[in-house]
Amino acid sequence: MTTTAIISGQSIGTSTNVGNDKFAAKLTAGTTTTAFVVSAKLTLGAGPTNPGIVRVRFTSASFNVTAANGPAHLGQTSRYLDLVLSGQPGSSVLIKDGTLETLTGSYIHVWVDAPTLGTAASLDVNVVELP
């Protein structure tokens, strides 16, 4: 099993860090990987947070697409996990794992849809590769 931080400490929810298809990242899977899980952790800022959903999208691909083109070219094959914000106090942490996914190619892509949160939050996304 291999765990890779594909997005680490990314500020989201304010300024230019709001919108769909943000923070696109690409990981080349290990040669023995047959399945993977995406895990996300959202650390909220100290101030009030607007209700919303931070959606982490992910997919594997057999085609070599750049990270920047991942959302546009692979969006129809993507799955997602939602971190739902509904009145959590400031400075709280939300953690969620995606489902176990079969690797269908050599590449794993991740990107984020981030709402306006009012107070910036920090997002970490890991990919856990399984043999």
Higher pLDDT, 119 or 81: 81
> 3-class DSSP state for residue 74?
helix
Q: Which domains does the chain have, with CATH numbers?
A: 2-130 (2.60.120)
Q: Contact at 8 Å (CB) between 97 and 4? A: no
* pLDDT tens, residue by residue, 21-64: 999 999 999 999 999 999 999 999 887 788 899 999 999 999 99
> 3-class DSSP state for residue 75?
helix
Q: What is the mean pLDDT of the chain?
A: 94
Alpha-carbon distance of 42 to 7, in angstroms, equals 11
Q: How far is CA 43 from CA 17, 32, 77, 89, in A?
A: 15, 32, 28, 11
Q: What is the pTM of this model?
A: 0.94
pLDDT > 80? residue 90: no
Alpha-carbon distance of 38 to 25, in angstroms, equals 13
